[in-house]
Chains A and B, each alone.
Chain A
Amino acid sequence: MPQKVFAPWDDPQEKPLIQFKNVTKRFGSFTAIDNLNLDIFEREFFALLGPSGCGKTTLMRMLAGFETPTEGTIQLSGKDIGGVPPNQRAVNMMFQSYALFPHLSVWENIAFGLKREGKDKGAIETRVSEMMRLTRLEKFRNRKPHQLSGGQRQRVALARSLAKAPKLLLLDEPLGALDRKLREETQFELMDIQEKTGTTFVIVTHDQEEAMTVASRVAVMDEGKLVQVATPDRIYEGPNSVYVADFIGDVNIIEGRAHQTGDKVQVIWSESEPPLMATTQKNFSLDQKCYMAIRPEKVGISADRPTAANALKGKILDIAYLGNISTYHVELPSGHVIKAQEANTRRIARRHFTWEDEVWISWTDTAAVLLEQ
């Protein structure tokens, strides 16, 4: 039986769990969130991505109830939650600093929310044990937070915020304090736990790799606005603007003027070089300014002239060797520097190219994305 693809955002019948409707949030004269509309669906792992100060944390704090929107409404399961205080929302948050209660043990930290609900002892014990098993914390039951390592604290924070089985779990830079290796492991753990519990997760991060790894959809934010909301692959392969293309991953941007015939576009970008070819679904008027965005790994590099639609001759300026891949910075006669990436499938001693070599770089007419802005 083929597995059904999880994509409630494409189904018009589906009702969103969270709905932002024309939400604006101002702090004095500063607009943190600017007339924002957004739907987040049940069981989604939704990532809010953006540079610091873009409003992603404000958005999250409004969901938790620590901020109220200046204008507009936020709905949770169809109900306006604007005036509901944080302690009465079926929303829990995992804080960036973890905010573990230092005077309470691991067990008491996890049980804190359940005790507030007035559950009986047996039920609390069962639920806390379950959470400790899920996050592999059984051994640390009686430890205080300061007796735990960073990764363990992170798991306590996660267990504590999941204990009340919230409809929505908010994660504010949950892995920011962990080192790279642990962070990567924990990303998979998070996805695993999200799947097991079926909770809707909203994660705030400035780490684009993290967002791409864990999320079912990514929202890229800038200056209080959503620039693009899409699945990780659509965000990466089909960014809607230079901002998104540049923010997510590495990209070469070539500015030029468009000459469109059907879905083919000639991009005139240099006095001396032939125009570049690209395909697009959009419509560009004659001589309209456009940006060609091409990912470095889609740019080939070779000694002889290739047959691809776009081929340019240049000189290797720099080589960044990252072990698994190498990035070549190739300078064109026009002064543009194009990045091309190659997987190092052979050992480095057998590499073809070195500094100052004359090479051809190339890409097909479907490899690049044409952007209007």
Chain B
Amino acid sequence: MRRFSWFNATALTLGFVFLYLPMVILVIYSFNASKLVTVWAGFSTRWYGELMRNEAFLDAALVTLKVGIVSSTLATVLGTMGAYVMIRAGRFTGRTLFSGMIYAPLVMPEVITGLSLLLLFIGIGLDRGIVTIILAHTTFSMCYVSVVVSSRLVSFDRSLEEAALDLGASPFEAFRLVTLPIIAPAVISGWLLAFTLSLDDLVIASFTAGPSSTTLPIKIFSAVRLGVSPEINALSTIMISIVTVGVIGASLVSKRAAVKRQEEERAAVRT
């Protein structure tokens, strides 16, 4: 056991207060009975009820969900393909340039990505709507997927694919039956990452969204400009709980899998 020290305790408290105080306040005020955001008037779940009746928010939530699911799926397919090719192609002239080009959007300011996409959509005459948001989100999140998947592929034993080919699988079958199941955890976390990115993106979505399709972040942002309403607090609390449950659940599942695997390996050594 480490010895308790006042310095450590203070540092820890300060750090966590800094990180979580805003969110805690938000969660507390989402249960506020008063319409005024800054005045506490007793506990109530009224705003959650109001939220459920607010058509505009529900529409926006639906759009966000659709965009998130479709764009992260597209981004996962494209990002995985990109990662696979970059890792498997071996050394060729311009390899660094190509891999750099895959990762460049990671550091590109979102405003620029949004603006250039907007210009492109106007240029090709594509009406702004849910399709353009999906395309835009796919564009910027596929490089995140690519990073996650390629870090797994680097440590992937190539001879597994060769073994599949050797046993009569076509290159595509080898990928589908051997490579993909093994790198699946990385692909799934890539998908989750893309989904999260799409869920909370405001900048790129506001460039590419049309009047008929508003995502939740845009809706929240424009609502807040007219004053923070308790409904927004309730909505944010719901989003926080979804994310928290997701993160805790995912880490529990992966921890349990790791423990189970270790036990099985130990059992194998004994027999």
Which A residues fall within an 8 A CB radius of B?
Answer: 64-66, 85-88, 91-93, 95-97, 99-103, 112-113, 116-117, 143-144, 146-149, 152, 160-161, 164
Contacts and interface: CB of A to CB of B under 8 A. Distances in A.
14 contacts: A66-B165, A87-B166, A87-B169, A87-B171, A93-B162, A95-B159, A97-B157, A99-B157, A99-B162, A101-B163, A112-B164, A112-B169, A146-B261, A149-B271
A93 B268 contact: no
B202 interface: no
A189 to B, nearest CB: 19
Contacts, number: 76
Interface in B159-188: 159-160, 162-171, 173, 177-178, 181-182
B267 A147 contact: yes
Interface in B46-77: none
Contacts of A93: 162-163, 166
Contacts of B160: 99, 101
A117 B167 CA distance: 9
A103 B261 CA distance: 12
Nearest to B271: A149
Contacts of B170: 87
Contacts of B271: 149
Contacts of B264: 144, 146-147
A248 to B, nearest CB: 29
Given A146-B265, A147-B264, A116 B169 contact: yes
Contact of A116 (B162, B173, B261): B173
- The dominant DSSP class at the B interface is helix
B160 to A, nearest CB: 5
A86 B178 contact: no
Contacts of A116: 167-169, 173
Contacts of B269: 149
A147 B263 CA distance: 9
A304 to B, nearest CB: 56
Contacts of B182: 101-103
Contacts of A143: 268
A113 B162 CA distance: 12
Contacts of A86: 162, 165-166
Interface in B93-128: none
| Interchain residue pairs A-B with the least CB separation, the first 10 | A113-B167, A116-B168, A99-B163, A99-B159, A147-B268, A86-B165, A103-B181, A147-B264, A95-B159, A87-B165
B167 to A, nearest CB: 3
Contacts of A99: 157, 159-160, 162-163
B182 to A, nearest CB: 6
Nearest to B170: A87
A265 to B, nearest CB: 50
A273 B145 CA distance: 77
Contact of A146 (B173, B181, B268): B268
